[in-house]
């Protein structure tokens, strides 16, 4: 008599929403005693989902800013048609900064 109850697969369908699991070190309540200190009354500090969204926003903003600076420097230095060694060093530095920002965002997106 145990095998008489059959439920269709349609009735067992469920929607799951996964929030990211973020592991951070814990240094006590607000790290400034019971009241005050960084993280006190800060929802981004306590909620892993909001923390992940904020971190993603700042990493994307860093990529946008680096790209904008690199583009403006390229336009400025190539306006006269000649790029001096000093200008080439500055452009290389901007390119490294941009590559570093993209790499940080890529690593963050792989984790989350």
pLDDT at 45: 76
Token pair belonging to 15: 């929607």
Q: Can you tell me the mean pLDDT for 60-66?
A: 98
- Round to whole Å and give the CA distance between 86 and 67: 20
pTM of the model: 0.62
Three-state secondary structure string covering 31-96: CCCCCCCCCCCCHHHHCHHHHHHHHHHHHHHHHHHHHHHHHHHHHHHCCCCCCCHHHHHHHHHHHH
| CA distances in angstroms from 20 to 15, 59, 106, listed in the order given | 16, 17, 17
* Percent of residues, the chain, with pLDDT higher than 70: 65
């Amino acid at each position: 008599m145990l095998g008489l109850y059959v439920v269709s697969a349609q009735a067992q369908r469920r929607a799951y929403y996964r929030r990211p699991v973020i592991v951070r070190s814990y240094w006590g309540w607000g790290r400034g005693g019971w009241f005050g200190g960084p993280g006190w009354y800060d929802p981004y500090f306590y909620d892993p989902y909001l923390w992940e969204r904020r971190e993603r926003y700042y990493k994307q903003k860093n990529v946008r800013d680096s790209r904008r600076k690199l583009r403006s420097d390229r336009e400025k230095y190539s306006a006269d048609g000649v790029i001096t060694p000093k200008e080439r060093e500055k452009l290389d530095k901007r390119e490294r900064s941009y590559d570093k920002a993209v790499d940080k965002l890529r690593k963050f997106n792989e984790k989350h």
